[in-house]
Amino acid sequence: MALKVGIIGASGYTGSELIRLAAGHPEISIEYVTANQYKGMAVSDLYPHLTGVYDGKYESFDLDTAIAKADVFFLALPHGKAMEVAPDILEAGCKVIDLSGDFRLSDPTVYEVWYKKEHTRPDLIEKAVYGLPEIYEEKIKKASFVSNPGCYPTGAILALAPLLSEGLIDTEGIVINSLSGVSGAGREPKPETHFCKVEGSLTAYKVGGIHQHTPEIEQYLSDIASKPIVISFTPHLMPISRGILTTAYTDAVGSTSLDELLDLYKLYYKGKTFVHILPRGQYPQTKNVAGSNYCHIGLAFDERTNKIIVISAIDNLVKGASGQAIQNLNIMMGFPQDMGLKHAGLMP
């Protein structure tokens, strides 16, 4: 019998991706999708690409209706809203995968500083497992509440985890630059993401370590390194719909070589279906992972400056959000991790 799932907040880009991916999953039945402002509208009217894929209609959220219809819920809600919904769903005995930032940070005061919102359910933070499967798979297996990682943190953490786990880099002075497609800003129109503003232009934003994903990256890199990590992180907007290209610059500790680094990464991610380490001289491209749940990683070693440079590429809406959420559900339910996610990148 198929697993009954609900998607709360299904009118945004991550919500539509959840519907697209879940509809093609052999063990999932989508029983409940909500978007209060589109109540009664067919999902395919808002997203015509889902015509014939999912024929349901949006409902307004009602707790009793939700828990009567589904057993597992994806929360694709804005930051600050998931903490209003998650507690009651969990109390009803259902599983929750939250795609917002509400439960990613271990300290609620840090959340309040970076997200500019009061955290009303700090008691639930320690119950949420961080859903980066390549690092925390064993915890996810036992979880009923998973906090799905942010898109920028996914690309950055996967890029740096092997180096930090082996103590191969200086933990001070790590610089991370990430370039994201415009869909990362969400479906609601904004002046700064208008076509005329972004077409043919690259733009840095929230410069100077003020992006809300900074403490998330630092928290989990610190966990991997077993020591506090402070990074310099600068996000950029690029004129494409989807994708994140991350470049991390680090200082090597001791002697190393590119071949040794490539061997380390291949061993660290051995058996991790969705992380591919590219051969020497090849580097990730966002186009190669677009529409897929894969993360491509390439490495370089600059002997002149003694810097290890790591580049990763993901689709911000899939591995950076909805695909990773499905991957987490697979782990929680004991399904193969790649079930419903074995889609190659879209090329060209």
Query: Exactly one of 94, 151, 196, 295 is catalytic; which is it?
Result: 151
Half-sphere exposure of 182 (CA within 13 A, CB side): 21
pLDDT digits (tens, 9 = 90+) for 13-37: 999 999 999 999 999 999 999 999 9
Residue with tokens 């409940």: 32
Q: Specify the pLDDT at position 123.
A: 97
Question: Which pTM value belongs to this model?
Answer: 0.97
Q: Are strands 72-75 and 95-98 parallel, antiparallel or unpaired?
A: parallel
Structural domains present in the chain: 3-127 (3.40.50.720), 152-316 (3.30.360.10)
User: 3-state class of 72 per DSSP?
Assistant: strand
pLDDT digits (tens, 9 = 90+) for 59-69: 999 999 999 99
pLDDT digits (tens, 9 = 90+) for 31-54: 999 999 999 999 999 999 999 999
Edge-first strand order for the sheet with 203-204 is 203-204, 231-237, 174-180, 244-251, 307-314, 295-302, 275-277
> Residue 150 pLDDT more than 80?
yes
Of 312, 337, 324, whose CA–CA distance to 104 is shortest?
324
Residue 94 among the catalytic residues: no
Of 331, 327, 329, whose CA–CA distance to 341 is shortest?
327
* C-beta separation of 99 from 75 below 8 A: yes
**Mean pLDDT, to the nearest integer, of 150-162?**
98
